[in-house]
Structures are given as structure tokens and as C-alpha cells.
């Protein structure tokens, strides 16, 4: 049974955090979190980038490398795809306006992404590291985001507003990188349902590194933890 499909996930849902963390526990029990991880392949591109050897699951930082306040697990394939959509504010099956701001559609084939997530229950925060194969340059994503500072996301009659602001400073160590702050505000619901995310995205060859700290309500993302895990992921990919 594909648990992620059976229980759809959408940014702004009241039970989003409880659903995600509960699904991690359930799926880990079913499949074992120590196994190789799958996620979201990306669309093919005419851009040619050098290939980085080694399975993504082996390049992914281990749970032991996360800060101690973020006990972490490696997500099984069923959860990894849903988690990636949660972190950019656009879930599977959502409608995006303007349409050109929608993330690339998932296509079959190719190596799947590898995702690990740590959770700080005391601050209601998560810290997520994703490695994915991408022939696209980070500069293309940068250009898209500059024209998509605010988008509307809807599904099944419910909607949210996703706002993205690019930072001036970018994280070091990759071929190209961006940093951004993103908020997801549901059209209906209290202030405690607002998601705030700080994300660093970089690329080394054909490996896209994405590290995100996500909080709910008035909590602020942990930028120091993002910097730490981004540097850890860069070192792992560079050393491959």
C-alpha cells in the first residue's frame, strides 16, 4: 500500500505536522527507515551537467550527523515525495496560480531523491535535508522564483498563499546556490497554521542539495541548523 497516496498531504491542512510525523513513524515500522530511500525524480533538461558518482542514499547525511536537538530519520520512498512537496508549499495534486510558477511535475524513471528529517518537538520545528538528481541549473530556479514571489495554491476548495523572498547572501561550497525565506498562509485557519521556512539550495554537478528549517505559528526557522547541515551535505557530495 502506498501510504503517501492513500492520505494526501497539502500545505495549510490543520493536521499537517501531526500527519507527516505520524506517517514517518508508521511507514518506518512497515518498511524500515534504514533501507535505501526514494523520492522525487526531476524532468529531463537540455542542460548538460557533470555526473556525481555514488547513490544519493549513500551521500545523504546520516541521522547521527544532525544537531542533537533534531532526532532524525531517513524517510522511506512513500513519505519522501510528500515531504518535498510540503516544503515548497505545493502538494501533490495542488493547483498553482500563476501556472508558470508550479514546480516541475514528477516524471517516472531516474534515480529517486534521498531525504532525512529531524524534529525538535520543543520548538515545533523540523530540519530536512534532500539530495536529488537534477540536470537543471540553480540559476533557472532563481529566475523562476524572482517572478513568483507570491502564488496561490488550491486543492479541493481549500487554498493558501505562498510567499517566497530570495536572500541576498547565498551559502558557500557549491557550483551555484540560493537561499530563501518562504511562508505558507492558509486562506482559512488560525495564525498557528502558518508555516515559515528557511531554505538553502545548492548544486554540485547533477546533485541538488536542499536544506530546510520549517516552523509553525510564531516560531522562527533555525538558520544556524540550516547552515550546519548544508555544509555537512556539501562535504559529503564533494567527497564522493
Bond from prior residue into 86 cis (ω within 30 degrees of 0): no
Query: What nine digits make up the cell of 132?
Result: 536529488
- Tell me the Ramachandran region of residue 59: left when phi exceeds 0, alpha when psi lies from -120 to 50, beta otherwise: alpha
Rounded Cα gap, residues 179 and 1, in angstroms: 36
Nearest to 210 by CA among 117, 130, 91, 125: 130
pTM of the model: 0.80
Asked if residues 27 and 76 have their Cβ atoms less than 8 Å apart, the reply is: yes
Q: Residue 4 — very low, low, confident or very high, per pLDDT cuts 50/70/90?
A: very low
Q: Is the pLDDT of residue 217 over 80?
A: yes
Unique residue bearing C-alpha cell 508549499: 89
- pLDDT digit string (tens) for 40-82? 344 333 346 899 999 999 999 999 999 999 999 999 877 887 7
- Compute the distance between CA of residue 220 and CA of residue 229 in angstroms, rounded to an integer: 17
Per the model's pLDDT, the better-predicted residue between 104 and 149 turns out to be 149
Amino acid at each position: 500500500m502506498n501510504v503517501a497516496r492513500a492520505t494526501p498531504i497539502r500545505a495549510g491542512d490543520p493536521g499537517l505536522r501531526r500527519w507527516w510525523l505520524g506517517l514517518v513513524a508508521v511507514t518506518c515500522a512497515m518498511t524500515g527507515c534504514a533501507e535505501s530511500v526514494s523520492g522525487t525524480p526531476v524532468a529531463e533538461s537540455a542542460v548538460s551537467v557533470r555526473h556525481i558518482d555514488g547513490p544519493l542514499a549513500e551521500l545523504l547525511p546520516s541521522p547521527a550527523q544532525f544537531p542533537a536537538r533534531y532526532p532524525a530519520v531517513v524517510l522511506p520512498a512513500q513519505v519522501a515525495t510528500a515531504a518535498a512537496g510540503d516544503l515548497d508549499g505545493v502538494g501533490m495534486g495542488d493547483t498553482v496560480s500563476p501556472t508558470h510558477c508550479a514546480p516541475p511535475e514528477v516524471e517516472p524513471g531516474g534515480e529517486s531523491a534521498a531525504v532525512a528529517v529531524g524534529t525538535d518537538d520543543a520548538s515545533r520545528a523540523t530540519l530536512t535535508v534532500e539530495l536529488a538528481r537534477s540536470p537543471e541549473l540553480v540559476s533557472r530556479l532563481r529566475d523562476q522564483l524572482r517572478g513568483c514571489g507570491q502564488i496561490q495554491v488550491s486543492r479541493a476548495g481549500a487554498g493558501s498563499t505562498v510567499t517566497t523572498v530570495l536572500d541576498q547572501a547565498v551559502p558557500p561550497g557549491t557550483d551555484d546556490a540560493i537561499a530563501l525565506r518562504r511562508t505558507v498562509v492558509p486562506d482559512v485557519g488560525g495564525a498557528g497554521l502558518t508555516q515559515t521556512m528557511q531554505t538553502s539550495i545548492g548544486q554540485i554537478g547533477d546533485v541538488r542539495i536542499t536544506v530546510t528549517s520549517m516552523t509553525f505559528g510564531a516560531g522562527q526557522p533555525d538558520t544556524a541548523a540550516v547552515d550546519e547541515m548544508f555544509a555537512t551535505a556539501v562535504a559529503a557530495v564533494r567527497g564522493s
